[in-house]
Amino acid sequence: MEMGVINLARVDERLIHGQVMVTLSQKSGVNSIFVVDDVVAKDKFMRDLYKSAGSRTGQKTIVITPDKAKFYWDEYEFKDYNCILITKTVGAIYDLVKHGLPMKELNIGGIAQKDPAKDILVTKSVYLNKEDAEKLKELNESYGVENIYFQATPSAPKSSLKEVLVKFNL
């Protein structure tokens, strides 16, 4: 039976935006974009908006809740979709991987500051708290997510997970 692949996972609060997705979706073998987010998936206007933004990249774009994503993996292993999977938060990716969705490459793109007391600016476009840093470390060490890096856009400089974990003494 054919099995899909999560070619690249990305955490970005803006989900799909412009040039970034166009460039990323040209990654070899990619044929779809999965936007996994509860709020967006349950709002028809937002869903349609992201579907049309995604389809401008030439890729089939599927907008689903995390629960649907888990079900679709358990039942069908994403069929023949070689996808870029995007969520808004580290927690959402963590939950999907712990459920059993396999991924090797995770790009942390853009996360805004929520709690000034806890969130530190780890790269130009990413604020992270210690809890999320620990989740990323666990995904890397225990769940086979080998390549975790911080990069806002494909042309921006890359920071490794290791460089970021140091900031949390992890």
Q: Check residue 1 and give its pLDDT.
A: 62
Amino acid at 35: V
Q: Check residue 116 and give its pLDDT.
A: 94
Q: Check residue 18 and give its pLDDT.
A: 67
State both tokens at 14: 């803006």
Q: Check residue 82 and give its pLDDT.
A: 93
CA–CA distance, 58 with 127 (Å, rounded to integer): 31
33: nearest Cα among 47, 43, 21: 21
CA–CA distance, 149 with 132 (Å, rounded to integer): 14
Q: Check residue 58 and give its pLDDT.
A: 82
pTM equals 0.93
Q: Check residue 131 and give its pLDDT.
A: 97
Angle between helices 90-99 and 130-142 (to 10 degrees): 30
**Which residues face 87 on adjacent strands?**
11
State both tokens at 134: 């620990």
What does DSSP assign to residue 160? E
pLDDT digit string (tens) for the chain, length 170 residues: 678 999 999 999 988 876 777 777 777 788 999 999 999 999 999 999 888 888 888 888 999 999 999 999 999 999 999 999 999 999 999 999 999 999 999 999 999 999 999 999 999 899 999 999 999 999 999 999 999 999 988 888 999 999 999 999 99
CA–CA distance, 36 with 33 (Å, rounded to integer): 10
